[in-house]
Amino acid sequence: MKLLYRNVAIILSLLVLAACQSVEVASEEVSKSELVNLQINPISHATAVLEWDGAVIYSDPTGGAEAFAGQPSPDIAFVTDVHGDHLNTETLEAVLGDETILVVPQAVQEMLPQDLKGELVVLANGESTVQKGFSITAIPMYNLPESEDSRHVKGRGNGYVIEKDGFRLYFSGDTAGIPEMRSLEDIDIAFVCMNLPYTMDVEEAAEAVLEFKPAKVYPYHYRGQDGLSDVARFKELVNAGDSDIEVVQLDWYSETE
């Protein structure tokens, strides 16, 4: 009888251990994206509103106050570069609040009005700041091959990696598929540009994405001189190289644009 009880106890212990292992495996299969309270609202081109764990983040706010009608006021806003599709001082004056943190590169800071609302944080490539619970790191963005007369020279503008609680989000800004992008690690969501002749084509964008392997990638900033880039081709190239990368297409351009 003692032997029977011992065998039953051993069997029960094994069943409990197996159940615990099953729960652990199941929890690992839930993606981080499903556990993060993040809403992405495309406005146009490079402009978006993120609602992330109760905070509101604006990327490259342009389009005037009317573009943000019905949107909550930003806790944090960032500008990537000096060009008009990224920096619009009238829009900044209209949408920033007194408590908004505005993150910019030095070249943008030099173009801002003195009386702009909010608190200004200037980052150079490679520098970081922590604001309202979010870590923000400035990533280089520039054209290849590098030249002094290129549209986007190295060191002037910033892409950004924004992180909270281990969840990492990347905005490329205007860039080619540069080494600094390709060497990024643990990116959960990436917004990647693709529009010749200003940045790169869909083939180069796909090659770069396949190197740093974000969990999800959103094509954005894909209007060029010849219209909209072939983002369907971008998705095809990415998924042919790595079917685990989710390519998400949002509506960045209205029919009238």
Mean pLDDT over residues 23-31, rounded? 39
For the chain, give the number of residues: 257
Angle (CA) 109 112 115, round 5°: 120
State the pLDDT confidence band at 17, using cuts at 50, 70 and 90.
very low
Q: pLDDT at residue 255 above 60? A: no
Q: What is the C-alpha to C-alpha distance for residues 201 and 219, in angstroms, rounded to an integer?
A: 11
Q: pLDDT at residue 130 above 70? A: yes
Contacts of 129 (CB under 8 A, 6+ apart): 103, 121, 123, 135, 136
Q: What is the C-alpha to C-alpha distance for residues 209 and 215, in angstroms, rounded to an integer?
A: 10
Q: What is the C-alpha to C-alpha distance for residues 243 and 106, in angstroms, rounded to an integer?
A: 39
Name the token pair of 4.
């029977």
pLDDT by residue (tens digit) across 73-119?
A: 999 999 999 999 999 999 999 999 999 999 999 999 999 999 999 99
Mean pLDDT over residues 159-166, rounded? 97
Q: Quote the pLDDT of residue 27.
A: 32
Q: What is the C-alpha to C-alpha distance for residues 174 and 111, in angstroms, rounded to an integer?
A: 18
pLDDT by residue (tens digit) across 190-229?
A: 999 999 999 999 999 999 999 999 999 999 999 988 899 9
Phi, psi dihedrals of residue 144, rounded to the nearest 5°: -120, 140
Read off the amino acid at residue 82. Answer: V
Q: For residue 224, give the nearest of 256, 205, 199, 247 by alpha carbon.
A: 199
Q: What is the C-alpha to C-alpha distance for residues 48 and 209, in angstroms, rounded to an integer?
A: 20
Q: Quote the pLDDT of residue 33.
A: 62
Q: Quote the pLDDT of residue 30.
A: 47
Q: What is the C-alpha to C-alpha distance for residues 141 and 3, in angstroms, rounded to an integer?
A: 70
Q: Which fold has domain 32-247?
A: Metallo-beta-lactamase; Chain A (3.60.15)
